[in-house]
Amino acid sequence: MKKIGIITSGGDSQGMNACLKTIIKMAERYNIEVIAFFGGYKGLVFDECKTVTSKDADMYFSVGGSFILSGRYPPFIEKKEWDKAKAVYKKHNLEALIVLGGDGSIKAANDLSTLDMNIIVVPCTIDNDVFCTSKSIGFDTAVNNAVNAIDNIQQTMKTNGRVLIAETMGRHCGEIAMHAGLCSEADIIMIPEKKQDVEKIVREVGKQLAVGNTSPTLVLSELQINIDDLAKKITETYNKECKAIVVGYIQRGGSPTVQDKLLAIRMGVGAMDCVLNKNYGCVVSLVKEEIKFIPFEKAIKAKYKFNEELWQTFLELKRFKTEKKKSKKSK
């Protein structure tokens, strides 16, 4: 083994840099050259690259983002783009390519693997929507960032007696909203896995106000409803000021948590183990707290297992808080 390539693809996630450094350091230990392609699959197609060393990665270990840049490349759905990528792969005499990215990156890696390219994927996405692994790099930090933001906003909302709607990222997966909502003691959580219409949400706010909760908090996962319209409806229905906040890209930034660093290190080591043992066409995954290597085909077909226990925990806490407020109000 003499030379491998590496890219970070799709949306960035905290811990990518820690994983990159781990892979590069291990490669150096075995005298393997690492070629980084900048900006994801686009960098591979257009041969935008350079050799990277652990010195290049040193200052980024505890920094969010990706020092080799990341991004999406929509034209990569076309086979002619795959052929360009293969030509660059062959040009540099690469023996393997490690891809750090999410579900779309895995599908693209699977496509490339049909062209006799040796590829390994490390799941890096804040949305935690790579279902062959119990946790992806970046998720823990994103949840922590969301909770910190919601906690801070709640302080002023409660002081002024306002209703808060906080929208998190997650695309079509409610993991961030579920965890952040529970840990910020939200009164209402709206996620795609437990669909609720707008009228029901508005009624839920009314129930909270009726038991004396002067500042209910709603945490919603994105792409479900227009939160500005919801805030307006709540204000008009109850003559109660309601603020809609998009937590936004603050969830992607900042230093990775200890948990994400540990996961990044473990998965980086796992990726290099795959390289050294020529175990290609797989996703490095965390399964029951152990690092496993899941074949692309199985990884792509993996089904989402919603944490029903966590949802029931939220509902139980909500019932307890509501009953407590009712009891105080009746005294």
Residues 127 and 148 in one domain: no
User: What range does the domain containing 103 cover?
Assistant: 3-138+256-301
Residues 191 and 269 in one domain: no
Mean pLDDT on 34-56: 97
Q: What is the mean pLDDT of the chain?
A: 95
> Residue 309 domain-assigned?
no
Residues 6+ away with beta carbon under 8 Å from 250? 145, 146, 149
Residues 31 and 118 in one domain: yes
Question: For the domain that residue 107 is a member of, what is the CATH number?
Answer: 3.40.50.450
More confident residue, 158 or 328: 158
Tens of pLDDT, residue by residue over 245-261, are 999 999 999 999 999 99
How far is 31 from 51, CA to CA, in rounded Å? Answer: 13
Tens of pLDDT, residue by residue over 119-157, are 999 999 999 999 999 999 999 999 999 999 999 999 999
Residues 152 and 246 in one domain: yes
Q: Cβ(17)–Cβ(57) under 8 Å?
A: yes
Question: For the domain that residue 159 is a member of, what is the CATH number?
Answer: 3.40.50.460
Tokens of residue 9, six digits: 């693809």
Residues 96 and 221 in one domain: no
Helical residues (DSSP H) of 198-307, grouped into ranges = 198-210, 227-238, 258-276, 296-301
Catalytic residues: 127
pLDDT at 320 over 90: no
Q: Which of 201, 186, 177, 182 is nearest to 154 (CA)?
A: 186
**Is 230 in a helix, a strand, or coil?**
helix
Residues 11 and 34 in one domain: yes
> Residue 89 domain-assigned?
yes
How far is 325 from 261, CA to CA, in rounded Å? Answer: 40
Residues 153 and 122 in one domain: no
Residues 109 and 69 in one domain: yes
The DSSP code for 244 is E
